[in-house]
Homo-oligomer: A and B are copies of this chain.
Amino acid sequence: MPPARAGNRHRPGRGSDALSRDVVVDAAVALLDELGERGFTVRLLVERLETGPGAVYWHVANKDELVALAADRVLASALSSPASSATEGGQGEGDMAPVKALRRLAVAVYDALDVHPWAGPQVTASPVLPSALALFDRVGGLLVRAGVPAHRRFTLATVVFTHVLAVSAQMTARAEAGGERVDRQAFLERSAARLEQLAGSHPFLADVAGDMRHHDDREQFLVGLDLLLSGLAAELAESPELIE
Contacts and interface: CB of A to CB of B under 8 A. Distances in A.
B140 A204 contact: yes
A11 to B, nearest CB: 38
Nearest to A210: B154
A153 B171 CA distance: 18
A225 to B, nearest CB: 9
Closest 5 CB pairs between A and B?
Answer: A140-B204, A231-B231, A154-B211, A227-B231, A137-B202
Contacts of A134: 201-202
A212 B153 CA distance: 11
B166 A208 contact: no
Contacts of A165: 170
A141 B208 CA distance: 11
A173 B126 CA distance: 8
Interface in A71-129: 121, 124-127
Interface residues of A, number: 54
A134 B175 CA distance: 20
Contact of A208 (B154, B205, B220): B154
A204 B137 contact: yes
Contacts of A220: 155, 158-159, 162
A173 B124 contact: yes
Nearest to A206: B137
A212 B133 contact: no
B224 A235 contact: no
Interface string A204-222: 1101100110010001100
Contact of A162 (B155, B171, B211): B171
8 contacts: A125-B173, A153-B207, A153-B208, A155-B223, A165-B170, A166-B167, A228-B228, A234-B234
Interface in A127-167: 127, 133-134, 136-137, 140-141, 144, 153-159, 162-163, 165-167
